[in-house]
Structure 1
Amino acid sequence: MNRRHFLLSSAGVAATGLVEAPLFAQGRGGAQMPNGPLPPAIAALTNRVSGVKPITIAERQERCNSAQTLMAKNKIDAIVITSGTSLVYFTGMRGGNSERLFAWVLPVKGPAFIICPVFEEERMRELTGNVPGGDKVHFYTWDEHENPYALLGKGLKDAGLATGNIGVEEQTKFAFSDGFAHALPAAKIVSATPVTAGCRGMKSAHELELMKLANDITWHVYEAAWKSLTPGMTTRDASALISAAYMKCGVSGYASVEVDEFSALPHGSIKPQTLKEGSIVMIDDGCTVEGYQSDITRTFVLGGKATDKQKQVFEIVRKAQAAALAAAKPGAPCEAIDIAARKVITDAGYGPDYKFFTHRLGHGIGMDGHEWPYLVRGNKQLLAVGNTFSDEPGVYIRGEFGVRLEDDWVMTENGGEMFTPTSKSIEEPFAV
């Protein structure tokens, strides 16, 4: 559950006293789905992912090789990953994050090994089909009464690494990290981010292909939704319609929808909202293709008749988005992108600093919707070819409306390149 999904959780909805519109019914996974024929623009969408190629074992082996190169460069003797996106990235294994320790450990040299409960070994061995090294991966197992953390020390000793710097990913539970530290007093627990983010931040041609497809699907789903939204729908109705559109495209996706004064809250509100003729509508989020994310935001006026102020703010945000992309050059610091966009907005009278543009310019994106590196003031990390980001400036006028434009892009040798067409105007958001 991400920050936006939380706003539409059952607990959040119950707190509002919101009653579902009869136009929509509960569908697969508890999602609200259209009850009856789909609007023509959404009905016309087709499956886009039937021929998509998944990530191969060979690609995962290349990732492990790159990780070991970065480990040597950063003086990290092994990395320990217990669950989550990085586990999938390197191994293809998907596991829950329970209180029982499961860990995939990659030493700086040699093959990886796995630590898991005895009763889970057979199941985990079934999952090693996508793991580099396959059935040659060594398992260290522990019974329920035993200390699993000591097995990390044994595995490292067997790999010739009795002491050293052990990299732990930032998403790791404190209990696990603390257990490693107590079990390995001669070792030093350090951040594995230089390795995990260092690998995941540099997208391969195959990864970019998947991300481009995810973004293209989202763009077309949003366009179909724009053609299908009508006055009287609630924002939950609109989100359900978009979910149905993603299903037509063969993917899992979601969108938060905010209206009028609630569009001035960057991540929206749980309060009931209804679309009206002339409403400012903000749609945000994306879909997943083979584990790779899109994240697009469009802001438009329902009915296509904007006020002069709305047009003016939209144009300021559009210019800020363009300025950010123009500042994207290999070797430029990440913060330069934020600075370029913020200057446009401040110079237009919507400053200073975070007064109206209340968040950073963007975030890295890939297998996670938000991941390293981040486009924010103070981040001196240099942009590199293969980095992928969101570009999402906004102006939020509390009590009135907000405008945010978000598109995803890749850093190329020649500069930043958007995955999808940008928004032309607040009245024609999908005109190219």
Structure 2
Amino acid sequence: MISDSRPAPISKDEHADRIARLRTAMQAAGADAILLGSTTSLSYFTGLIWHASERLVGALITADSLSYIAPAFEVSKIETLERIDGDIAAWEEHENAAALVARLLGREKTLALDDALPFFVYSALARQIAPERLIDGGPLISALRAVKSPAEIALMQYAMDATLEVHKRVHALIEPGIRASDVVQFIDETHRALCGSGSTFAICSFGAATSLPHGVDDDQTYAEGDIILVDTGTIVGGYQSDMTRTYVKAEPAAEFARIWAIEREAQQAVFDAAKPGVAAETLDDAARRVIAAHGLGPDYQLPGLPHRAGHGLGMDIHETPFIVRGNTTPLVSGMCFSNEPMIVVPDRFGVRLEDIIHMGESGPVWFTKPGKSPTEPFA
């Protein structure tokens, strides 16, 4: 159920604390400064929301300064937007934004780069700053962003509650003859009504199309007895929700019911494996052991699980930590990630049950409780 009290947005004090921790990480990595682009990391650290274009807008953070980088004609707009305090260093249309960054950085200094910056920004910087002094700032950023604060988790919980209610209303809505596009439109409208933000994405698949993890481009029509897969999310205060349900609204075929039960068992195995300090890949392994024990797979073979068992969630719909083989990152309190070890039976159907976990001090916590059965998609 959605709370009547919407969580507060991230405060300026929390943004300031994030920058303080970023500066500590920069020092440990031997970086004199870090350049953030028009990415969610810019919003994460400074509160400024700006959509990327061919013009560089971002922030240069050093040990003792914060300078927003922007075209001169956008300065008046930036001054009106929510952000923490900092100078604004402007460049005119005929000037080189990378040269401005280089001047602010200073000679012989090392610059860490937001890993979501586009290549054209990097290539321009590399003509102004020796490439060996440009380092990957992604590990610094992702390590901080991966651990959510109570304020972030509250925003995500509110968004997840809204998306759960959307799923419930979709379940009641779907009847023979309805088109997938009608469902997608309903999802967006209902998200907006519940939390003020539309869907960041929405997938509605029927029948054999459920075997394609991200659906089909064709507009399908639901027929009685079809398998239904709905995957959607929204955004609240900059933070994402993400949830998938797969079910039928009739007596399930025996094979679908069998695969649904294996999927739910694999999902529970991921949850049970999510202990503080264990490597992220351990959770993927747990799902695959269940699936293989039932004669599916192994590895990425089909019928079975064709992709990772989950992904981090926060300001981006996919972010660290990724629940995938080879990821030895230890789980710590505050990490948030999806649990979705989808099982695909090619050309017949797929079953994805996706709920989000956040790590507590003593173990995993569901944002939303898993589905109950092939015909009862909600706990």
Q: If the TM-score is normalised by the length of the shorter chain, which range does it land in?
A: over 0.9
Report how many aligned residue pairs link the two structures.
Answer: 375
> Is 1:401 aligned to 2:340, yes or no?
no
Q: Shift in Å at residue 373 of structure 1?
A: 1.7
Q: TM-score, normalised by structure 2?
A: 0.95
Structure-to-structure mapping, 1:251-330, within 5 angstroms: 251-253=197-199, 254-303=201-250, 305-330=251-276
Whether 2:364 is the aligned partner of 1:416: answer yes
Superposition deviation, residue 143 in structure 1: 2.0
Q: Deviations over 1:15-66 (max 9, x none)?
A: xxxxxxxxxxxxxxxxxxxxxxxxxxxxxx9x86764311111111111111
TM-score, normalised by the number of residues in structure 1: 0.83
Contact 2:333-2:361 within 8 A present in 1 as well: yes
Q: Pick the aligned partner of 1:168 from 109, 113, 118.
A: 113
- Residues 286-322 of structure 1: CA deviation (Å, up to 9, x unaligned): 111111111110000023x101111110000000000
**Equivalent residues of 2:331, 2:359 under 8 A apart:** yes
8 Å contact kept, 2:312–2:321: yes
318-327 or 185-194, larger mean C-alpha shift: 185-194
CA distance in 1, matches of 2:21, 2:316: 20
Paired letter, 1:232: G
* Residues 2-401 of structure 1 mapped to structure 2, 5 A cutoff: 51-107=6-62, 109-127=63-81, 129-131=82-84, 134=85, 137-157=86-106, 162-185=107-130, 188-250=133-195, 251-253=197-199, 254-303=201-250, 305-355=251-301, 356-401=304-349
Offset, 1:163:
2.3
Residue pair 1:333, 1:379 contacting (<8 A) in 2 also: yes
Would you identify which runs of 4 or more consecutive aligned residues in structure 1 move more than 6 Å? none
Query: What is the CA–CA distance in structure 2 between the aligned matches of 1:71 and 1:164, rounded to whole Å?
Result: 12
Q: Is the 8 A contact 2:112 2:134 kept in 1?
A: yes
1:186 and 1:370, CA in 2 relative to 1: closer, same or farther beyond 3 A? closer
CA distance in 2, matches of 1:271, 1:122: 44
Paired residues of 2:6 and 2:158 also in contact (CA < 8 A): no
* Partners of 2:236 and 2:321 in 1: CA distance: 21
Distance 1:49 1:198 in 2: 33
What percent of counterpart residues are identical? 36
1:180 CA drift (Å): 1.3
> How far 1:187 moved relative to its partner?
5.5
Deviations 1:178-197 (A, max 9, x none): 11121112761111112211
In structure 1, what residue type is equivalent to 2:15? R
Structure 2 Cα separation of the partners of residues 280 and 198 of structure 1: 39
Q: Residue 105 of structure 1 aligns to a residue in which SS?
A: strand
Deviations 1:385-412 (A, max 9, x none): 1110000011111111110100001111
**One-letter code of the match for 2:43?**
V
Give the C-alpha shift of residue 165 in structure 1: 2.8
What is the rounded CA distance, in whole Å, between the counterparts of 2:234 and 2:70 in structure 1? 32
SS of 1:130 mapped into structure 2 = coil
The DSSP-based 3-state class of the residue aligned with 1:113 is strand
Q: What is the alpha-carbon root mean square deviation over aligned residues?
A: 1.7
Q: Deviations over 1:109-154 (max 9, x none)?
A: 1121122222222222233x422xx2xx223222222222122122
Distance 1:147 1:406, change over 3 A: same
Any conservation in 1 of the 2:32–2:110 contact (CA below 8 Å)? yes
Unaligned runs of 5+ in 1: 1-44
Read off the aligned partner of 2:182 and give its amino acid letter: D
Contact 1:164 1:186 in 2 (8 A): no
Q: In structure 2, do the counterparts of structure 1 residues 245 and 142 end up closer, same or farther at CA, with 3 Å as the change threshold?
A: closer
SS where residue 176 of structure 2 aligns?
coil
For residue 80 of structure 1, give the secondary structure of its aligned residue in structure 2: strand
The CA distance in 2 between the partners of 1:310 and 1:186, in whole Å, is: 54
Q: Deviations over 1:139-179 (max 9, x none)?
A: 3222222222122122122xxxx324311122111111111
Is the Cα–Cα contact under 8 Å of residues 49 and 249 in structure 1 kept in the other structure? no
Deviation of the 1:249 alpha carbon: 0.6
The 3-state SS of whatever aligns with 1:384 is coil
Residue 417 of structure 1 aligns to a residue whose secondary structure is: strand
Equivalent residue of 1:331, what SS? coil
The CA distance in 2 between the partners of 1:270 and 1:130, in whole Å, is 39
Offset from partner CA, 1:77-123 (integer Å, 9 cap, x none): 2110120211111112122322222230111x112112222222222
Q: Distance in 2 between matches of 1:196 and 1:219?
A: 30
- 1:167–1:191 contact (8 Å) kept in structure 2: yes
Checking the alignment, whether the CA contact within 8 Å between 1:74 and 1:194 is kept in structure 2 is no
Give the 3 Å change call, closer, same or farther, for CA 115–247 of structure 1 in structure 2: closer
